[in-house]
A and B are shown apart, each in its own frame.
Chain A
C-alpha cells in the first residue's frame, strides 16, 4: 500500500503545482490580489504532499518491499539499514524524487516566510517555482516512476553499488541537491522580478538567503564529496576534474559570483542586470549538471543513469526553463532601470572584478567539460585532464585570491588606490614574508604552489583585517561570516598548495615484517587477515606505523569483496596527524608472500576540507546575521511608527 500511497501523493502534488502555476499566472496578469492570496497555501500544501511521497519511498526501501521495481534494482534485504535508507535516493528515480521534494519544500518555505518582496513579485516567483516543479513531476510520473510495481516479485534485490555504501554517500546527494534547489529558488525570484519589472534591493534581499543557503550546501556537498572520493576511491587524490565533479563545481562558481553581486544589489542598489543574469546562469549550471550526469551523454567514472530517452526529457525541460528565462531576460532587462553607479576603485569595483574572474573560471571549466563531448561527436577521442584545468584556471584563481584580499578593505562607491595600498600593507608583507620564508626553507617547488602558499598567508591576514580597529561586540554577524569564509578560502588554498607540492608517494611490495618508508613514517606489514562484514568479506592488512621515536600505532587498510553485485573495493586507512595525513592502500598479493602497499604522505592536506567547512560556516553565519539585522530593522521601523502615532495622538 505504501507505494500506491506515495504515487497518489506525487500525483496530487503535481496537480497542485499545475494549479499553483495557473493561479499565479492569472493573478499576475490581472493584478488580482484575491487570486494571489490563494497561491501561498497551495505552495505549502504541495510541499507537504511531495514530502509524503518521499517518505513513502523511504519506507518502501526500509521495508525491503521487493514488489517495487526500484527496490529490487537498488537494494538488498541483507543491507545495513542506513544504506537501505540512503538507497532510496542512491538511484536515478529516487534522486529525482528527492530533488523535487526539496524543490517543493523550498517553495513552501518561500510561501510561508517571505515578507520582504512585493506581493505581486512573490506571486510571480511562486508561479515560476511551480513551473519548474511541474517539469520534474512530469518527468517522474511519465518517464521514471519510482513506485512502479513488479508483477512477479523476486526473492531478493540486486544490491546497491558498493562504492555508494558509505555513510558519507548517504548524505552527499541530499546536500548537493539542497544547493541546486536553493539556486532554483533564486532563479524563480529572478524570473518573478523580471515578470513584474521589479528588480531592486527588496528583491535582492529576498533572494539573498536562498543564494547563501544554496552556496553553503554546495560548499558542504563539494567538500564532503571531495573527502569521500579521497578516502573511498583509494587513489589518494582529492579532485580529479571529472565531469561529475565539475557538474557541482560550475554552479558553485556561479553561486559564488551571484552571492557577491546580490550583496551589491541589496545594499547599494547596483549591478541589477548582472545579478539577474547570474541567477539565471547559476540555475542553468545546476540543470546542466543534472543533464550531464543523468542523460548518458557523457561517460565518466560515476555517470549514473545511462538513458537517452530520459536525457531527452531533461533536455526539453532545460530548454524550456533556461531558454524561457534567457528570452525573458533579453526582452525585459532593457526596462530595468540602471542602478546606482560607482567608481572603478571601490568595493563594487572589486566585486565586479571578482565576478568577472569567477565567470572566466566557470567558462574554463565549462569548456574543459564539454570539449571532449563535442570532440567525440566529431569523431576524435580525447580527454581533457587535470593539467589543462590546473594550468588554465590556476593563475586566474590566484588573481581572484588577490582581489578577494583587497575587496573587503575598499570603501563602497569610491576609494583611492593609495588608501588601499596603505590598508594592504600587512597582507602584502605577509605574502612576501611567507614566500621568502618558504623558499628559504624548502627551495624551489614550483611557481603555482609557492605563489599559492604565499597568497594564502596574505589572504589570511587580509581576511581578518576588516575586524581590526572595530568594536568586536558591535560588529554585525554577517561581517564575521565574510571574514570566516574568506579565511576558509585561505586555509583551503594553503592545503591544496602544500599537498600538491610536498606529497610523497611510494608503491612497494613487502612481506610480513619488512619495513617501508614514506615521508616521516616507517611502515611495517605485521600481517594479513580475513575480515567479514555485513555484506562483504575482506583481506585486511595490519600496518605498524611509527614516526621518529614515538610509540607505533596500527592502520588496517582493506581490500573488500562484495557479492551483490560482485565488486572489489579498496578501503584505504588514513592516519591523521597535526601536519598532514598518512594514506595507506592495500593492493594485490604477488603470490610469493608479498603484498603491494601504496603509501602517501600528504602534508597539510586536511586543511583543504577544514577550509571548506570554514567557508560553509562563514556562509551560515551570514544568513543568520542578515536575518537578525532584517528583524532588528523591522522592529525599529515598528517602534518609530508607534512613537510617531503616540506623538500625533498626544500632540507632542
Chain B
C-alpha cells in the first residue's frame, strides 16, 4: 500500500481550508457587479420627472457620443456626497444623463437646487425596473456608456474626488 496516498485527502482538504481562510481574510467586498458591462443597454423608455427636463430612453443613449449614466435619488445620502464630483465631470465636458429611482418631481427639483444640476436628461424609474435591468443594485451608481449604447464601465457607490479622473478617462477612451 502506498502510504502517502492516505494523506492525500487531508492535503486536499487543507488546500480548500487555506483557500477559504484567505477568502475570509479579504476585506469583505459585498459589491454586486453588473453582468451588463460590455453589453448593450436593454431597451427602455422613462417619463420625465424634473420640471423642464426631458425623460430618458435607450435612443437618447445611442447618439454616437459616449456619456455617463448616473443612477441617483433625492433620498439617497451618498448621492449628495457625490454631487460636487458630478459637477466637476460636467465642467470637464462630460455629458451626464440620469435615472431617478423611486422619487418625486418636487423632491428632485429641491435636490438639484441644493446640490447643483449636472444632468441633461432625467428618467423617472418609479419602481426600479430599469435600474434592475441594468444590473445595478443600489444608488448611487454610474455607468459609462459608449455612443452605440454599450456599457463600458460601471462605478458602484458614490464618486469620490479620486474617481473623477478615472471616469473622465473612461469617457474619453469611449469616444
Contacts and interface: CB of A to CB of B under 8 A. Distances in A.
A323 B10 contact: yes
Interface stretch (A81-89, A150-158, A260-268, A373-381): A373-381
B10 A319 contact: no
Interface stretch (B11-19, B73-81, B105-113, B144-152): B11-19
Interface in B1-31: 1, 3, 6-7, 9-10, 13-14, 16-17, 19-24, 26, 28, 30
Interface string A282-314: 001000100100011101000000101001100
Contacts of B3: 334
A37 interface: no
B9 A308 contact: no
A281 B13 CA distance: 10
Interface in B89-140: none
Contacts of A296: 28
B9 A277 contact: yes
Contacts of A393: none
Nearest to A374: B19
Contact of B17 (A280, A318, A334, A374): A318
5 contacts: A284-B13, A296-B28, A297-B23, A319-B17, A373-B23
A370 B23 CA distance: 12
A527 to B, nearest CB: 23
Interface stretch (A225-233, A324-332, A476-484, A641-649): A324-332
A315 B23 CA distance: 11
Interface string A270-281: 000000010011
Nearest to B35: A381
Interface residues of A, number: 30
Contact of B24 (A284, A295, A374): A295
Given A288-B16, A291-B20, 11 more contacts: A281-B9, A295-B24, A306-B30, A308-B24, A315-B17, A319-B17, A326-B9, A329-B6, A334-B1, A373-B23, A377-B22
A163 interface: no
B44 interface: no
User: Interface majority SS on A: helix, strand, loop or mixed?
Assistant: helix
A333 interface: yes
Interface in A497-554: none
A315 B19 contact: no
A315 B21 contact: yes
Given A323-B10, A334-B6, A312 B24 contact: yes
Nearest to B18: A319
B5 to A, nearest CB: 9
A322 interface: yes
Most buried by B among A280, A284, A297: A297
A371 to B, nearest CB: 12
A377 B23 contact: yes
A299 B32 CA distance: 9
Contacts of B24: 295, 297, 308, 311-312, 315
B6 A333 contact: yes
A383 to B, nearest CB: 9
Which 5 pairs of residues, A with B, have the shortest CB-CB distance?
A326-B10, A330-B6, A330-B7, A308-B24, A319-B17
Interface string B23-48: 11010101011010000000000000
